[in-house]
Every structure is written in structure tokens, then in C-alpha cells.
Amino acid sequence: MPLPTDHPDIPAPRIGVLVVNLGTPDAPDVASVRRYLAEFLSDKRVVEIPPLLWQPILHGIILRTRPKKSAHAYAQVWSEEGSPLAAITARQAKALQTRLGATIHVAYAMRYGNPGISATIAAMKDQGCERILLAPLYPQYCAATTATANDAAFAALAAMRWQPALRTLPPYHDDRAYIGALRTDLERQLAALDFTPDRLLLSFHGMPKRTLQLGDPYHCHCRKTARLLGEAMTIAVDVAFQSRFGPAKWLEPATDDTLKAYPAQGITKVAIAAPGFSADCLETIEELGIRGREDFIAAGGTHFARLDCLNDSDAGMTMLDSLVRRELAGWWSEV
């Protein structure tokens, strides 16, 4: 039966993949950073303090002081492509699109900042995506990362009359493909160094210790990733947690304290990697690569190397391609 002449156009049904990362300000200036931090630090998944107590602190103190310092840090890592995190995530989406082919529509979004999850899902739906795999690029599950990305997607669907079907990518902290990709890429980078490290420090993003006590599996996931990777590699591996914020007790040991203590232990040559990050960003390039190096050298270290995240490397994209194909089973076949 032909459609009425006044019927709106209906795009052909498609399957979509939406890769999601944390987010970034639009520019390395104070105003942009303030907007970004206001959104990020207002998320109840990120700061688990009652809003009546937290919002006066956030707007009265933190957003008056922290944006200037953070903008300076972002300026040190900004490139012609913009924010490293946004640029790399865009490249990952493009590479995944090439691998999956034209029958799958791949897009990317940020939990905080632009492009936003809600607007991107709406655009994908307008382009015919009736089934969408949401892929938060966090290997280790955490309520403050994976869950809040899922929350934003579910909220976007809640506002839609005609919702696409939605699947979510599970955490992959112990997946063979992930551990194998890390081993391959890290060994490649270690082999290219002009020194042999005494230790490989695996630095994961920190979380308040309270999150572990409340049942968040993040700490356990990080530890399992490190154990499996350590078993797969020949170099000695340590684990630490970075990016402490505020007065609360955080997961330990702290990355900065670990780096400062190494030289006194006879560990003067170090390589550091951040396997919990799928793409290099402020926390890896500036916090580890610049400030981490300064801490280590000031304490007496002689050789320091920050290793890249998987980013859009061949190993990283092969891993992501395999995870996505597995989660699309039943929805999509190449045949």
C-alpha cells in the first residue's frame, strides 16, 4: 500500500553504534572549562554528596578557583585538532566505521560537553537507527563513568515517543581481546624506548574509597586488569591511582606518591601507562606525562616514559571491533 502523499519521509532502518567517552571543554579557556566542570561536577554519580551541601561549595568555591588552573593545564595539551580526547575519540569512531562497513552507522558522543549523548542519539534516530549499541569506552565498570553514560542515554530515550532499541557494551576489564591489545601495544612502545625501565607503573583513575565500600566494582576491575596484564608481560608491574580530589580518602596507593618514592627504592627508570583510559587526555598527557615526570625526576629518577593509551592504534581498534561485533550478534550479520 503506498504511503499518503503528506506522509513524512521514513529513513531506511539501520543499526547504529555510539561510542562514548567522558568529555572535554570546547576550548582551553576559563569560561569553557567552567561550563564543563559545572556539568561534570554536578553529576550525582560523580560527586555523591547531597546537592544542598555540594552546590554551594561547587559554585561558591570550586568554580571560582579551579577553572583557571584547569584551563592552563588544557592549554598545554590542546592541539590544532582541539582536545586530545575529542580528537582521538572521533578517530576511533571513524576507524570503527571503516572496519564495520556502510551497513552500520557509527557515531561518537561525550557524557559532558559536546557532542552530547542526547543530541547524538536523536540524530542517529533521524538517520534511521532503530537499534543502537551504546559503547562507553571504559574497560573497568564504575558508577561515575559507565553508569552515568548509560543514564544519559536512557534519559534521552525517555524523552522520545518512538525509541530505538538499545544495548550497552559491558565492561571488558578482563576480556582476552583487551588484555591482548594492551600487551601488544605496550610491548611495542617499550621496545621503542632508548632505555629499559625498572618498572611499569599502571595508573588508573582514582575514586573515593567510599565507592568501593558501597559496592562499586571499579577497584576490583582495575586490580584484575593489572594482574592479567602483569602475568602476560615480562616487566615488573605496579598499580597506582591518580587524580585525587577533595579531602575524602581515595583509592591507594596514589600515583604521585608512588613516583616520588621510587628513586629511594632504587627504581630510577620508569615507564607509566594508563590502561583504564581508552584515549589519551588531560589526565594522561598533562597529569602523568608532565607533572608525573617532574615528580619522578625531582625525587631522583633518571629515565621516565609515558606510554600512549590504545587510542586508534591497530591493536586498540582490532580489540574494539571484536567487542562491538560480539555485542551486535543477533542484530547484524555481515553475510
Q: CATH number for the domain including 128?
A: 3.40.50.1400
Give me the domain span that covers residue 107. Answer: 14-172+316-327
- pLDDT for 12 equals 84
* Same domain, residue pair 121 and 141: yes
Phi-psi region of 290 (alpha: psi -120 to 50; beta: other; left: phi over 0): alpha
CA 253 – CA 243 distance, rounded (Å)? 12
* Same domain, residue pair 164 and 199: no
Residues 215 and 273: beta-carbon distance below 8 Å: no
By CB atoms closer than 10 A (0-12, 13-18, 19+), residue 146 is buried
Edge-to-edge strands of the sheet including 104-113?
Answer: 104-113, 14-24, 129-136, 165-168
* Same domain, residue pair 149 and 255: no
Please state, rounded to an integer, the average pLDDT across all residues of the chain.
96
CA 274 – CA 99 distance, rounded (Å)? 25
Phi first, then psi: what are they for 110, rounded to 5°? -115, 145
User: How do residues 102-111 score in pLDDT, each as one tens digit?
Assistant: 999 999 999 9
* Mean pLDDT within 137-158: 98
- pLDDT for 1 equals 63
- pLDDT for 27 equals 97
Separation in Å, CA 335 to CA 14, 17, 103, 331, 332? 16, 19, 11, 12, 9
* Same domain, residue pair 162 and 195: no
Cell numbers for 139: 574497560
* Same domain, residue pair 41 and 146: yes
Residue 335 has pLDDT above 80, yes or no: no
Instruction: With respect to residue 6, please indicate whether it lies within any of the assigned structural domains.
Output: no
Strands 199-205 and 269-273 come out as parallel
The total domain count for the chain is: 2
CA 33 – CA 88 distance, rounded (Å)? 19
Residue 91 has pLDDT above 80, yes or no: yes
- pLDDT for 9 equals 74
| Residue 170 DSSP class | P
Strand partners of residue 104: 15
CA 249 – CA 128 distance, rounded (Å)? 47
* Mean pLDDT within 34-60: 96
